[in-house]
Amino acid sequence: MVIYTVRQGDSVYGIARRYGVSVQDVIGDNGLQNPGRLVVGQTLVLPAESVVHTVQPGETFSQIAALYGVTQQALAQANPSVTDPDRIDAGQRLVIPVTLPRLGSAEVNGYTTGIRPATLEWTLPFLTYLTLFSYEARADGSLASLDDAAPVQAARAQRVAPMMAVTNLRPEGGFSSDIAHAVLTDPAAQDALLENIVGALGGGEKYYGLNIDFEYIRPEDREAYNAFLRRVVERLHPLGYRVATSLAPKTSADQPGLLYEAHDYPVHGELADRVILMTYEWGYTYGPPMAVAPLDRVEQVLQYAVTAIPPEKILMGIPNYGYDWTLPFVQGSSARPLTNTGAVNLAAEVGAEIRFDPQSQSPFFNYYDSGGRRHEVWFEDARSIRAKLELADRYGLAGVSYWTVNSFFPQNRLVVDGTFEVIKRL
């Protein structure tokens, strides 16, 4: 697998020829809607295993290295027969070390809040778990129903373990501290919720396990949440179900804020089979423009998380979307959500050049709309996904979790397949 960044003057034909792959593969694998209109800074994932370059008259070692985006040192190491890089001959064949290494095996979870059947079928091969979002708990312990039969069946047909998500979302949207408090402090409501969860799991024929995603829990309900989690595990483990929880991205045990204080990393790490860290939304709808999941911020969360939770239980969150902000940013204004593919298409439409921020390891671009207003767009591409997968591997995590897999992003699957052997649990 090669991750190629488009340069000025590139064409699909020229890139395909340089790397020895077919034009059809470049177009199809990357889902290019207009192959004749590449964007400078856009990434393409190429199915190249090895590249051999024939030196052209006048070419230098440094020019060839730059052509393929590799260092001269790496090029020299791949061609030990070249004793003097300043003396290469036309017609000489050089091995180009462009293929990214695979990093071993990992689990991959994908959340869905409603996905088209065609996108689901395309996505399932690179998933370990498909988490259906969500069954909404009510204050009395009842559960709102979810139309989940078709995606559960499709997941099982491709050996993907379906997970049932339970949340404290309101019917009109938004997480409710009141619903969480009612369930966590009322024994009758909690008993009812447990019975309803067991019933919805389907007796082993439907769901593989449960994902508890309770957010914005009052700090004073922290111990009640820990006790509830213990009850869930004690009830579901004997029935053969796995239990996962979703946690806010904390950088310390005592991090203040309604989102963080009731999420007790050590207790969840002890009790749950998997812990999903929601490492995204630094750049968010009502905030100033920035990367949705800056790699440096994500790593700060991991640095604390692995001290409190066994790394082999952690799934690191990855966003599958971006945002378009209007500048100058005004507090209270909202950004427009974009798919990653939609962001590249927008850059093509407005004639923007995509840049890459080395600190956040994320792509972005600017443009002016028809009204003369400046915009800033941050999203994910093959480079940023690869950087996040490498980070998860470096910390020895169980794997990663995507929010969400609803939108079609072909490079995502290519990069995952080229980086990990995806573990199957069914």
**DSSP assignment of 264-287, as one string?**
-HHHHHHH-SEEEE----SS-TTS
Q: Which residues are tagged catalytic?
A: 215
Determine, yes or no, domain membership for 59: yes
Determine, yes or no, domain membership for 145: yes
Domain residue limits at 261: 105-321+381-422
Angular region, 281: left φ>0, alpha ψ -120 to 50, beta rest: left
> Does 141 share its domain with 246?
yes
Determine, yes or no, domain membership for 21: yes
> Does 389 share its domain with 415?
yes
**pLDDT score of 69:** 85
Handedness of CA 84, 86, 90, 91 (dihedral sign): positive
Q: Report d(CA 271, CA 267) in Å as an integer.
A: 6
Determine, yes or no, domain membership for 16: yes
Determine, yes or no, domain membership for 372: no
> Does 37 share its domain with 124?
no
The residue from 39, 68, 96 where one domain ends is 96
> Does 144 share its domain with 60?
no
SS3 191: helix
> Does 56 share its domain with 124?
no
The residue from 96, 131, 155 where one domain ends is 96
Structure tokens at 104: 């071993």
Q: What is the CA radius of gyration of the chain?
A: 24
Q: Which domain CATH number covers 88?
A: 3.10.350.10
**pLDDT score of 49:** 83
**pLDDT score of 145:** 87
Determine, yes or no, domain membership for 232: yes
77: exposed, middle or buried (Cβ count in 10 Å: 0-12, 13-18, 19+): exposed
> Does 63 share its domain with 133?
no
17 closest CA partner among 41, 46, 38: 46
* CB count in 10 Å sphere of residue 101: 9
SS3 116: coil
Handedness of CA 115, 356, 107, 126 (dihedral sign): positive
**pLDDT score of 204:** 83
Q: Report d(CA 122, CA 206) in Å as an integer.
A: 21
**pLDDT score of 50:** 79
Pairing relationship of beta strands 355-357 and 362-368 according to DSSP bridges: antiparallel
> Does 306 share its domain with 261?
yes
Q: Evaluate whether 228 touches 263 at the Cβ level (below 8 Å).
A: no
CA contacts within 13 A on the Cβ side of 257: 10
Determine, yes or no, domain membership for 335: no
From first to last of the 426 residues of the chain, give the pLDDT tens digit: 999 999 999 999 999 999 999 999 999 999 998 999 999 999 999 998 879 999 999 999 999 999 898 899 999 999 999 999 998 999 999 999 988 999 999 999 999 999 999 999 999 999 999 999 999 999 999 999 899 999 999 999 999 999 999 999 999 999 999 999 999 999 999 999 999 999 999 998 899 999 999 999 999 999 999 999 999 999 999 999 999 999 999 999 999 999 999 999 999 999 999 999 999 999 999 999 999 999 999 999 999 999 999 999 999 999 999 999 999 999 999 999 999 999 999 999 999 999 999 999 999 999 999 999 999 999 999 999 999 999 999 999 999 999 999 998 999 999 999 999 999 999
3-state helix, strand, coil in the chain (%, to 5): 35, 20, 40
Q: What is the DSSP letter of 143?
A: B
Determine, yes or no, domain membership for 363: no
The secondary structure element, H or E, covering residue 106 is strand 105-112
> Does 187 share its domain with 111?
yes
The residue from 96, 123, 146 where one domain ends is 96
What domain count does the chain have? 2
**pLDDT score of 248:** 98
Q: Report d(CA 195, CA 231) in Å as an integer.
A: 12
Q: Angle at CA 327, nearest 5°, toward 321 and 331?
A: 85
Verdict on whether the full-model pTM lies above 0.75: yes
> Does 90 share its domain with 111?
no
> Does 140 share its domain with 230?
yes
Mark 133-144 as b/e (b = at least 16 C-beta within 10 Å). bbbbbbbebebe
Instruction: Provide CB contacts within 8 A for 126, sequence distance 6+.
Output: 108, 412, 413, 416, 417, 422
Q: What is the DSSP letter of 244?
A: E
Angular region, 108: left φ>0, alpha ψ -120 to 50, beta rest: beta
